[in-house]
């Protein structure tokens, strides 16, 4: 049944649609109220689509909440006793306006499924939990499976950006990393990165992107969040190392965090427990990772970081109060031939720019720069992170601290008190350079991917990329 395309409703379209002598549908404050044999309601956020047939049947597709962690596609249908197709069509238009607000309806989605990520269940997760939500919302889908590492780069580099609105990655964080780098390799990179929104549907072992923007690591809830997602400008960082330049959307790490992530790949059978085990082992040894560091500082200390975050959040909430359905992406689409932006601070091979703060860290334990708040379901490591503030959030932690203090720091992440730990140095920076010293080999992580163990330089590009988020402005995390 093809959905009706009613004309725009007039202001006097009633909230109540009577479908029979004993049933009615009412547009409430934040939900559709159904009165019949019994009264029930469906949140507008969960309404996926509505349609009217020529014979007067109203069908509403929605995401039924099975639990706090899962929804499934469902539908209700009523045949009008006394069909008034014009009125019913206008009422459906009004329902969809309430359900979608400023979010784009019936998105054209390029779905990339990684069959190899996590525990290898992405194909089944997509088919059972994600695809039915997309289909019920009337999304136009093009599904492709990756066949090898780096395939996501090739797909994004060669895709027709005019044919899609979103690239949705059924994977961990690795495929979004590949997609952004594939878009970055194009001759029209700047245009592609603004035009195409990248989303993650959690099917891997690392699902940080979904946690930050969908607010969940549930595949079905993430699918609903993508359907209703608002285009959100996202800072991306350029990482230069040797003669290479890559884009990073999530984090860069040197020290315990990088080593725990990358050196425990053989313990994937332990699930998230492998990270705890790796962390404990290295804390007890008081491992250090000496390095020379230079940073272009924006906010130098925790009080300044906290103030900047609160100001940004208050401004976003004030803007939303003035316009409850905001179009938060007002960027101009770049020219067809616009590639990646020039590097403002040069590369790792250039002389260090003037005005940078120089730091020598002979007893460094962790160096961690983040672009988003959540790194894992229970790790809100960067509570002051904002998707588009033109800054990287930088954490430095000494490695020679008392193991009990280190363990307390680990537990503080789960309690959202990590920011307040006195041994955690937290800054917002525009760019930085780090060079490991006194080590022949080790681990460096860029968005969870291992790169060569040598110095690298990073700078942020404000609003270079595009994501989908629930708010259109903020990460789904509480601030410091």
Over residues 211-222, the pLDDT tens digits come to 999 999 999 999
Inter-residue contact 377 to 264 (CB < 8 Å)? no
Q: Which pLDDT band holds residue 273 (cuts at 50, 70, 90)?
A: low
pLDDT, position 320: 79
Distances in Å between the alpha carbon of 420 and those of 27, 53, 409, 413? 45, 58, 10, 10
CA distance 209 to 214: 8
Q: Is 21 helix (H, G, I), strand (E, B) or coil?
A: coil
Distances in Å between the alpha carbon of 21 and those of 11, 25, 33, 36, 222? 25, 12, 16, 9, 38
CA distance 381 to 409: 11
Q: Taking CA 8 as the corner, what is the angle to CA 6 and CA 11, rounded to the nearest 5 degrees?
A: 125
Instruction: Report the predicted TM-score, pTM, of the whole model to 2 decimal places.
Output: 0.93
Taking only Cα atoms into account, the Rg of the chain, rounded to an integer number of angstroms, comes to 24
Q: Which pLDDT band holds residue 282 (cuts at 50, 70, 90)?
A: confident
Q: Among candidates 401, 159, 145, 140, which has minimal Cα distance to 287?
A: 401
Residue 407 scores a pLDDT above 90:
no
Secondary structure element (H or E) that encloses residue 198, with its range: strand 197-202
Q: Among candidates 262, 255, 197, which has minimal Cα distance to 447?
A: 262
Catalytic entry in 30, 154, 173, 217: 173
pLDDT, position 6: 44
HEC profile of 88-123: HHHHHHHHHHHHHCCCCCCCEEEEEECCCCCCCCHH
CA distance 372 to 235: 9
Torsion, Cα of 211, 212, 214, 219 (10° steps):
-20
User: Positive or negative, the Cα torsion across 170, 174, 176, 180?
Assistant: negative
* Model confidence pLDDT, tens digit, residues 159-200: 999 999 999 999 999 999 999 999 999 999 999 999 999 999
Least confident of 5-19, 142-156, 255-269, 382-396: 5-19
Token pair in block for residue 224? 């609903």
Mean pLDDT along residues 405-414: 73
* Model confidence pLDDT, tens digit, residues 102-116: 999 999 999 999 998
Q: How many CB atoms neighbour CB 40 within 10 A?
A: 12
Residue 272 scores a pLDDT above 70:
no
Largest CA distance in the chain: 82
Q: How many CB atoms neighbour CB 264 within 10 A?
A: 18
**CATH top-level class for 16-100?**
mainly beta
* Model confidence pLDDT, tens digit, residues 332-362: 999 999 999 999 999 999 999 999 999 889 9
Confirm whether 173 is a catalytic residue.
Answer: yes
Residue 3 scores a pLDDT above 50:
no
Secondary structure element (H or E) that encloses residue 27, with its range: strand 23-27
Strand partners, 446: 252, 449
Domain chopping of the chain, boundaries: 16-100, 108-228, 244-462
**Start-to-end C-alpha separation, the chain:** 50
How does DSSP classify residue 126?
Answer: I
Q: Which pLDDT band holds residue 74 (cuts at 50, 70, 90)?
A: very high
Q: Which pLDDT band holds residue 81 (cuts at 50, 70, 90)?
A: confident
Strand partners, 436: 291
Distances in Å between the alpha carbon of 306 and those of 302, 385, 413? 6, 10, 17
Token pair in block for residue 255? 């020290």
* Model confidence pLDDT, tens digit, residues 10-51: 568 999 999 988 899 999 999 999 998 789 999 999 999 999
Q: What is the mean pLDDT of the chain?
A: 91
Q: Is 306 helix (H, G, I), strand (E, B) or coil?
A: helix
Residue 478 scores a pLDDT above 90:
no
Contacts of 252 (CB under 8 A, 6+ apart): 237, 239, 368, 369, 444, 445, 446, 447, 456, 458
How does DSSP classify residue 55?
Answer: T
> What single string gives the DSSP state of each residue in 307-349?
HHHHHHHHHHHHHHHH-SS-----PPPPPTT--SPPPTT--TT
Residue 4 scores a pLDDT above 50:
no
Q: Which pLDDT band holds residue 67 (cuts at 50, 70, 90)?
A: very high
CA 232 from chain center: how many Å?
9
pLDDT, position 396: 95
Question: Phi/psi at 392 (nearest 5 deg)?
Answer: -100, 140
Residue 301 scores a pLDDT above 90:
yes
The CATH architecture annotation of domain 108-228 reads 3-Layer(aba) Sandwich (3.40)
Least confident of 18-32, 168-182, 238-252, 269-283: 269-283
Fold of 244-462: Tumour Suppressor Smad4 (2.60.200)
pLDDT, position 5: 40
Residue 480 scores a pLDDT above 90:
no
CA distance 60 to 75: 5
pLDDT, position 378: 73
Query: For residue 466, with 0-12 CB atoms within 10 Å meaning exposed, 13-18 middle and 19 or more buried, which class applies?
Result: buried
Residue 2 scores a pLDDT above 50:
no
């Amino acid at each position: 049944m093809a959905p009706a395309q009613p004309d725009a409703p007039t202001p006097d379209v009633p909230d109540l649609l009577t479908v029979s002598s004993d049933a009615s549908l009412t547009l409430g404050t934040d939900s559709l109220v159904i009165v019949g044999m019994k009264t029930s309601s469906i949140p507008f956020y969960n309404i996926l689509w509505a349609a009217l047939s020529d014979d007067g049947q109203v069908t509403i597709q929605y995401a039924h909440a099975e639990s706090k962690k899962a929804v499934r596609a469902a539908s209700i249908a009523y045949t009008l006793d006394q069909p008034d197709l014009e009125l019913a069509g206008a009422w459906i238009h009004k329902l969809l306006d309430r359900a979608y607000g400023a979010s784009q309806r019936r998105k054209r989605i390029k779905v990339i499924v990684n069959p190899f990520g996590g525990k290898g269940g992405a194909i089944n997760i997509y088919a059972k939990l994600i695809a039915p939500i997309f289909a019920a919302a009337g999304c136009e889908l093009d599904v492709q499976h990756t066949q090898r590492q780096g395939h996501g780069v090739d797909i994004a580099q060669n895709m027709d950006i005019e044919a899609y609105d979103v690239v949705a990655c059924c994977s961990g964080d690795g495929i979004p990393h590949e997609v952004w780098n594939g878009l970055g390799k194009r001759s029209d990179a700047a245009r592609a990165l603004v035009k195409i929104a990248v989303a993650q549907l959690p099917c891997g072992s690392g699902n940080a992107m979904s946690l930050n923007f969908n607010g969940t690591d549930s595949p079905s809830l993430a699918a609903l969040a993508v359907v209703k997602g608002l285009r959100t400008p996202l800072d991306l960082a350029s990482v230069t190392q040797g003669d290479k330049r890559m884009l990073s959307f999530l984090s860069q790490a040197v020290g315990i965090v990088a080593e725990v992530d990358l050196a425990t790949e053989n313990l994937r059978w332990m699930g998230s427990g492998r990270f705890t085990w790796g962390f404990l082992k290295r804390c007890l040894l008081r491992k250090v990772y000496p390095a020379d560091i230079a940073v272009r500082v924006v906010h130098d200390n925790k009080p300044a970081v906290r103030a900047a975050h609160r100001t940004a959040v208050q401004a976003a909430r004030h803007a939303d109060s003035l316009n409850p359905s905001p179009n938060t992406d007002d960027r101009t689409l770049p020219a067809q031939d616009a590639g990646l932006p020039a590097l403002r601070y040069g590369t790792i091979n250039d002389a260090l720019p003037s005005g940078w703060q120089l730091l020598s860290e002979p007893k460094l334990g962790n160096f961690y720069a983040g672009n988003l708040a959540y790194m894992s379901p229970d790790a809100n490591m960067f509570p002051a992170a904002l998707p588009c503030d033109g800054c990287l959030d930088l954490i430095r932690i000494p490695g020679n601290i008392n193991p009990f203090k280190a363990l307390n720091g680990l537990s503080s992440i789960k309690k959202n008190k990590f920011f307040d730990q006195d041994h955690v140095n937290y800054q917002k920076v525009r760019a930085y350079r780090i060079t490991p010293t006194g080590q022949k080999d080790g681990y460096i992580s860029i968005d969870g991917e291992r790169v060569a163990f040598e110095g690298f330089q990073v700078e942020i590009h404000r609003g270079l990329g595009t994501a989908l988020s629930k708010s259109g402005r903020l990460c789904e995390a509480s601030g410091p």
